[in-house]
Structure 1
Amino acid sequence: MASEADGTTDQQHQTAPAAPPAGRGSIDPAWLPADGLIPALIDGREVFGDARRACTDPYTGEVFAHAAESGPEDVDRAIAAARRTFDDASWRGLHATARADVLDRMAEIITAESARLAALETMDTGKGYFSALHNDAYEAAQALRYAASALRTHTSDVHRGNYPPGLIPGGPELVVVRLDDPVGVVAELLPWNGPLMTGSQRIAMALAAGCSIVVKPPVDAVVSAVEIGRIALRAGVPAGVLNVVLGRGATVGEALVTDPRIDLISLTGGVETGKRVMAAAAANLTPVHLELGGKSPAVVFADADLDAAAQWITIGAFSNQGEVCVAGTRVLIQDTVYDEVVDRIGQATAALPLGDPFDPDVFIGPLIHAEHAASVRGYIDRAVARGDAGVAAQGSLTAGLPDTFVPATLLRDVKPGSEVEQSEIFGPVLGASSFATEQEAFLRANGTSFGLAGAVFTGDASRAWRAATALDCGEVYVNTYYVGAINGGRGEPRRQSGFSRTGFEAYTRKKSITFNFG
């Protein structure tokens, strides 16, 4: 029999101290689940159930908590709660300003407790604490603030309508209003590589639109989604509007995406998962948004600032251990400066320190688990064994590090069409190739099945524009990598990177209302 508790009274959610940890030893024990259990959140209550799954720190290998495993009845109750709260308009029926105020309160709580949330994210995923604090927790709060602002300032489209003059001479006086209705009940399927930031962004936009939501985090990283759900309750989101169910995709995920009460499925994940979700959603013709994998290119021309390019490319390839969908995992370098740029990137790559992600000097932490690390190493080994690439530079593994670590690796002279060029590795591996002409660079950059992001480095503004328009992807960075404020300005993916609207409107659908004033 599942046990429940009121999700709004959990005492572990006191505001965290302002000072972040200087290392693993300074983690406040109060930040961890007091009873060692992480519940699902269903209809405003914490549901623990009988089944448990261990939450393991990728660096220490220690189990720091056990998460509930939701069963079919839990999923049914979560969907029912979301359906009820949407249909009775307990959230979407509130004035836009009132909903925006709640989103702002969520942002305030995340900001006040960013040290705690970042520490939990690091323990759950292996992400560097410095990045989790200054990027993920920061962007999580910014997403909610952006959504609140969008909600307060959003306007409808109003225009005149016209009948064909030959049909009704003079015609009626028509005014057409187009509204953005909330799409309804959303099944939000989150990734494991950045659940705090990505989860907050998706949930913020869905709540702003007026949707009710059932969130399923991945089994390997459940903590942040539960924390966001708890924060939503504390901030004033009505019980049942935001629910979090925990468990495997084959059971919990399957139950979600095949339920006819779901109005939209939103997935951030891998290509194969996206295909399975689309196939399952087809039975009910449920709309699907997919943000999937990437194999993003960075194109470096000889007229670029080569030092800056090397720095940005290193950041773009190896941030978060390369476990980023938009990571710049391919670098295409003009042949006249190829060796020079490879050498500069190689020096930076070899110098990236590995170790405890709570150490502020560490850049490369552990991957999510040992099986994934073994998969990443397999790509490197096969590329070298087949002659598809050579190792130009690689970081050094310190003795005693667990098998979840893969050092940052720069491969050079990557062969066109090879596995290491075409496949998303999702780890700290960057492949370098040369080109002679613009046309060759653009053809090679677009020569994979992905279309998520890309970058160009050049000192020529006209060339930058040509490259930006030629790259077939949803986001292009010019003389930089990654965008600073992604809450509302993300591009839409192409090809096997998926298809997804972005921002507030991703969780709405248009309604047209025509008035006759004639």
Structure 2
Amino acid sequence: MCAATSEQAADGSRGAGAGSRLRPGLLRTDPYPQLIGGREATGGTLRPITDPSTGLRPASYLAATAEEVDEAVTAARTSFDTGVWRRMPGPRRAEVLEAAAAAIRADARRFAALEAFDTGKGVSGALANDVYEAANAFSYAAAVARTAHGDARRATFPPELLPGGGPRILTVREPEPAGVVAELLPWNGPLMTGSQRIASALAAGCSIVAKPPADAVVTLSELGRLLGEAGLPPGVLNLVLGPGGTVGEQLITDPRIDLISLTGGTGTGRRVMAAAARNLTPVHLELGGKSPVVVFADADLEQAVGWAMMAAFVNMGEVCVAGSRLLIEESVYEEVLHGVAEAAAGLPVGDALDPETFIGPLINEAHADRVRGFVSRALAAGDAEVIGSPKLPEGLGPAFVAPTVLGGVRRGCELEQQEVFGPVLAAMPFRSEAEAGEIANGTSYGLNGTVFTRDLERAFRFADTLDCGEVNVNCHFAPDMNGGRGEPRKASGFSRTGVDAYTRVKAVNIQVHSG
């Protein structure tokens, strides 16, 4: 467990127990300000930062004023138009990005503790996954910045049809930065997701106004400071804090924004898309999911059980690609279902800052109540039965939800169709490959899907059946989130991934005489 500190709560009081959990220097700023044009801006309204493990408020941040949001867009627009970053040679941009990666690795344990404190995810998982992927995102982006290139193509129509008597046309296509990006980031993995998005946009040469989620501002605020120290010119990355309904709305309706990128819920995606239409601003949306994990009887069942448990309960199920639906071939249904429930029952539940914790609190009590509501309604309606839901340890706060496995889930019910975004797994049997495909594709989402089978032909066949942007075979999460990402479908949104998502192609047609 981390050592003590005595950060003051946002309301001026000191929460009992806070001093025993947070080591000195963990929170280096109170309140957390905006980052605008390379300087900290402090004109906003004070808002509390809540520790989901305890419900205490040991720090605060400033919600940006309308004037500060406007200044942030102006700073990004100026930095892009003057070319201070986008015209910097790729190898020089790569040096800054690699310096950021090195700085994250050097301060990895503090970043992991901050992410655990801020979001409720277990600190050990944050260190092994989130901080690792955050640093890797900047290293990957640095490599792309060094090697980015376009292509050249010859025209395919008869050259004698062109004026000048027999020339040919050579087309040079080159990627250009998309411009000023409004980056709206999620609360379930702000450091990892934010690093992936910001690093990719910077590698492309964009300037950015990023809005961290209102419920988790700390690690991204620290990342913005780190990037400045790594050599990023002022104004290239700006951070504005506060609610989506005010700060976010102002960002996405500003005509000086060239691209809007949202990682969030489907409802938010619809609102962002409607607002962006006012200025015809391009939008990238990575939204919700209800990903199926399909287990055939010929699979390695021990492997499938381990992955199904991980897919459903890592990060407390607060993952857009969480394997929240478990479809099991009827002949092995009971074996797999009870295996997953037994594995989930053994997961350590507790304080996010405890290195032993796997299941920490959800982001806040309101979201935990929402998750519990899905379970209670399903049970009351007879849509599911409890297979496993271990009793929570004594003394935990209201933001904690036990890892819950529900079996016999009725096809088409709310629990099977809607994204719960919590540690709740909905399991159901199937009799045939065709039925499995129908159930797997039977929601409005199309983000991710997984199949467990030893039959290679079935794996390819079922991957073709799944209507989603990414398919996993005998695993659930890709080992490197910087590569191999598909494009969402249906209510899961639409977006490209990586550096390409932040570029646009310019074609230059050159007439070349043959002699």
Q: CA deviation at 1:478?
A: 0.8
Cα pair 1:453 1:476 within 8 Å, conserved = yes
Please tell me whether the aligned partners of residues 24 and 359 of structure 1 are also in contact (alpha carbons under 8 angstroms): no
User: 393, 399, 423: which one pairs with 1:404?
Assistant: 399
Partner residue in 2 for 1:260: 255
Match of 1:17 in 2: none
The question of whether the paired residues in 2 share the 8 Å contact of 1:353 and 1:395 is answered with no
Shift of 1:515: 1.2
**Aligned with residue 93 of structure 1, among 87, 96, 107:** 87
Q: Any conservation in 2 of the 1:24–1:358 contact (CA below 8 Å)?
A: no
Q: Which moved more, 1:400-409 or 1:466-475?
A: 466-475
The structural deviation recorded for 1:471 is 0.9
Kept in 2: contact 1:352–1:395 (CA 8 A): no
Q: TM-score, normalised by structure 2?
A: 0.94
Q: Does residue 1:117 correspond to 2:134, yes or no?
A: no
Q: Secondary structure at the match of 1:78?
A: helix
Q: Name the CA distance, whole Å, in 2 between partners of 1:404 and 1:54.
A: 17
Residue 143, structure 1, aligned to residue 137, structure 2: yes
What's the CA shift string for 1:78-112, capped at 9, x where partnerless?
A: 00000000000000010110001100000000000
Aligned to 1:20: none
1:59 to 31, 47, 53: 53
Task: Give me the identity figure in percent.
Answer: 57
For residue 390 of structure 1, the aligned residue among 375, 378, 385 is: 385
**347, 353, 376: which one pairs with 2:371?**
376
**1:63-462 matched pairs, under 5 angstroms:** 63-165=57-159, 167-168=161-162, 171-462=166-457
Question: By how many angstroms is 1:470 displaced?
Answer: 1.1
Q: 2:94, 2:143 within 8 Å by CA — same for their partners in 1? A: yes
Separation (CA, whole Å) in 1 of partners of 2:285 and 2:19? 36
Q: Which moved more, 1:245-254 or 1:153-162?
A: 153-162
Q: Which amino acid aligns with 1:37?
A: P
> What are the Cα deviations for residues 280-302 of structure 1, in whole angstroms up to 9, with x where unaligned?
00000000000000000000000
Aligned-partner SS, 1:283: coil
CA distance in 1, matches of 2:436, 2:19: 45
Instruction: Answer yes or no: is the 8 Å Cα contact 1:146–1:488 preserved in 2.
Output: no
Aligned counterpart for 2:24 among listed residues 20, 29, 32: 29
Q: Deviations over 1:113-159 (max 9, x none)?
A: 11111111111110110011110010000000001111112221111
TM-superposed CA distance for 1:50, in Å, is 4.3
Give the aligned residue type for 2:347. L
Letter in 1 for 2:498: G
Q: Secondary structure at the match of 1:31?
A: coil
CA deviation after TM superposition for structure 1 residue 24, in Å = 9.3
Q: Note the C-alpha offset of 1:32.
A: 1.2
Deviation readout 1:33-85 (Å, 9 max, x if unpaired): 25x21111000001122411100100111212110110100000000000000
Does the CA-based 8 Å contact 1:454-1:477 persist in structure 2? yes
Inter-partner Cα distance in structure 2 for 1:460 and 1:374: 42
2: CA distance, partners of 1:154 / 1:50: 40
Distance in 1, matches of 2:90 and 2:77, equals: 20
- Relative to the length of structure 1, the TM-score reads 0.94
Rounded Cα–Cα distance in structure 1 between residues aligned with 2:173 and 2:58: 50
Contact 2:125/2:358 (8 A) holds in 1: no
Question: 1:25, CA displacement in angstroms?
Answer: 4.9
| SS of aligned partner of 1:402 | coil
Paired positions, count: 495
1:193 to partner: Cα distance: 0.3
Query: After alignment, is 259-268 or 160-169 more displaced?
Result: 160-169
1:89 alignment partner AA:
G
Q: Which moves more between the two structures, 394-403 or 411-420?
A: 394-403
Name the CA distance, whole Å, in 2 between partners of 1:176 and 1:334. Answer: 53
| 1:488 Cα offset (Å) | 2.8
SS in 2 for 1:364: coil
Aligned counterparts of 2:268 and 2:145: Cα–Cα separation in 1: 32
The answer to whether the 8 Å contact 2:182/2:210 transfers is yes
Give 2:104's aligned amino acid: I
SS of 2:392's equivalent in the other structure is coil
- C-alpha displacement at 1:190, in angstroms? 0.1
What CA deviation, in whole Å up to 9, does each residue of 1:455-495 have, x standing for no partner?
Answer: 00011111111111111111111111111101132111000
